[in-house]
A and B are shown apart, each in its own frame.
Chain A
Amino acid sequence: MTHPRRRDLRLDAPDSIGETIEPRISDGAAAGLRLPGDGPDVPRHLDPAAPTDPPADKTDADAPTVLPLALLEHQNATRPRLDELQRWEGVVEEVREKTFLGRLIDQTADGPDEIAEFDIEDVSPGDRELVREGAIFYWSIVYIDGLDGRRTRSSILRFRRLPAWTDQELGEAAERADARLRRFNWD
């Protein structure tokens, strides 16, 4: 979906659009002053000069961290709906030649931990390098209601991507570690 471009709007004074528009972007781009051809536009639902929409579709200065409904409705309209029946958080216990053992912690209901053997082939190719002892993954069993109305039952296996170590993080961790070592007179 493409957002309507500003050049479709009349650049009249605010009153002619029907309401008083106050800039909603706090600094940066001066709303309503960019002329057509100046470059890529901010999308409609973030554009303070856009025509009046129902409250839910605007970025509300009083509720700045609420997601605009238009974005949600677009996603709902363009993606299948997933009805999650069961979820586990898993940790890889052992990697074998074609399979791995995963310890499963039930996220849907309280219960004992379980262990299961998965085929590595069932892991998305892009995630296979993540299959290592200790890796965390999520396993969900879902109904997928497609945009065509068809329902299928499926299994989703997704490995967790933790952010990589940075110089700074290791440095900060070392500082905290050193503070503890001094505190307890260790090392």
Chain B
Amino acid sequence: MSLIGPGYGESIIIHLAAGDWIVVDSSVERSGAASALTYLNQIAVDPASAVRAVVASHWDDDHVRGLSQVVAACELADVVLSAALSRREFQILLEAAEPRSMSSASGLREMYDVHSILDARWAERCAEPILAAEGDPIWERDGSDAPRCRVQALAPSATAIIHAQEAFAREIGIVGAPKRVFRRFRPNHASVPLWVTVGDDHILLGADLERLPDESVGWRGVLNAPSRPNARAAILKVPHHGGESGDHLPMWEELLLEEPIAILTPFARGRPLPTLQDKQRLCRRTMCVFVSANERSRSRRRRSGPVERQIRQTVRGMRVIEPPGGHIRLRRRIGTSDPWSVELFPPAYHACAATH
């Protein structure tokens, strides 16, 4: 399993054994190439034939950059979207928001491109995307020729889908009102956390799911759901970049083994996450906390003298928000008692060593 994450964006690539791969979310390299595709090419895995599913855990632009490249390259993979995005309100939003004229940094634009590919595939071969909601199986392998495998969505619940629908409806637009870029919806009711089982190993991918007051949504909803996993995971992709709103102690206590491996990507835009307090909190839960990149970069590209002087006169502060990305790779031989190995490709780092 690999978690690749620059200061902005994340992509998870999991080998489900037997040459079957799954990609969850997408980030891009500085070159603009999708990180997942770059990695798969590096290890000589052909995305066109080996990737079984591409999952967009939600449509925030820090999770879907380059996703259309991944979907295009993974020609035989199922494309999995949150069931919330199948609501009429979101589809109208997608079609009405003129994504082609939008900033290239817009998540909606990336989703628009993904939908264009889905439409084309349906026209070619009647391939339909898969919708993920609470309890839905995303991909399964029965275990006869290879270790048993199952990928299951833990959310969104029916209530969360309704909340998401209402949020989309509010954004669609009022006749006469100027259009704008659509930003992240908070809380993100469309988020799709995943439970991945390969043999006897379990992985919890937390997406951006948050802890919310309503018992039927967010992490409380996951734990209250009839389809909640009965097992415990050894690995957690920490939700919401380690931020406090994604933290839910019962999730740690009920769905994770003791001292799980917790991996996360930073969020370097606006208020950087994880904060020092977030890291200290996580390290109290487990000593095995790894972050894929530095969440705070002070550096900035130096430009010519006149430009630098004007920048200093114009803005109060300016910094790079995409510090170079790192890579956390976790490996274990299935069917053995070997422990997980953790490889950190800089600038990925061990958060607990840094906070102590």
Contact = CB atoms under 8 A, between A and B. Distances in A.
Contacts of B306: 85, 141, 143, 153
A118 B316 CA distance: 6
B320 A113 contact: yes
B190 to A, nearest CB: 14
Given A165-B175, A170-B96, A183-B122, A113 B8 contact: yes
Interface in B96-143: 96, 98, 101-106, 115, 118-119, 122, 128-129, 131
Contact of B179 (A117, A133, A163, A181): A163
A184 B321 contact: no
Task: Say which size band chain B's interface belongs to.
Answer: 35 or more
A161 B88 contact: no
B321 A112 contact: yes
A180 B102 CA distance: 22
B322 A117 contact: no
Task: Say which size band chain A's interface belongs to.
Answer: 35 or more
Contacts of B87: 186-187
A105 B109 CA distance: 16
* Residue of B176, B179, B315, B321 most packed against chain A (CB within 10 A): B315
Question: Secondary structure of the B side of the interface?
Answer: loop
Interface string B164-202: 000000001111111111110000000000000000000
Contact of A136 (B131, B181, B311): B181
A94 interface: yes
Question: Secondary structure of the A side of the interface?
Answer: mixed
Interface string B305-346: 011011101111111111100000000000000000000000
B95 A164 contact: no
A183 B124 CA distance: 13
B144 interface: no
B275 interface: no
Nearest to B268: A115
B125 to A, nearest CB: 13
A101 B270 contact: yes
Interface in B259-302: 269-270, 300-301
A132 B88 contact: no
Interface string A62-103: 000000000000000000000001100101011000010101
23 contacts: A89-B103, A103-B105, A103-B269, A112-B30, A113-B321, A115-B269, A116-B311, A116-B315, A117-B318, A130-B178, A135-B180, A162-B98, A163-B178, A164-B179, A165-B173, A165-B176, A173-B92, A174-B95, A176-B95, A184-B86, A184-B118, A184-B128, A186-B91
Interface of A: 85-86, 89, 91, 93-94, 99, 101, 103-106, 110-119, 122, 130, 132-136, 139, 141, 143, 153-155, 161-167, 169-170, 172-174, 176-178, 180-181, 183-187
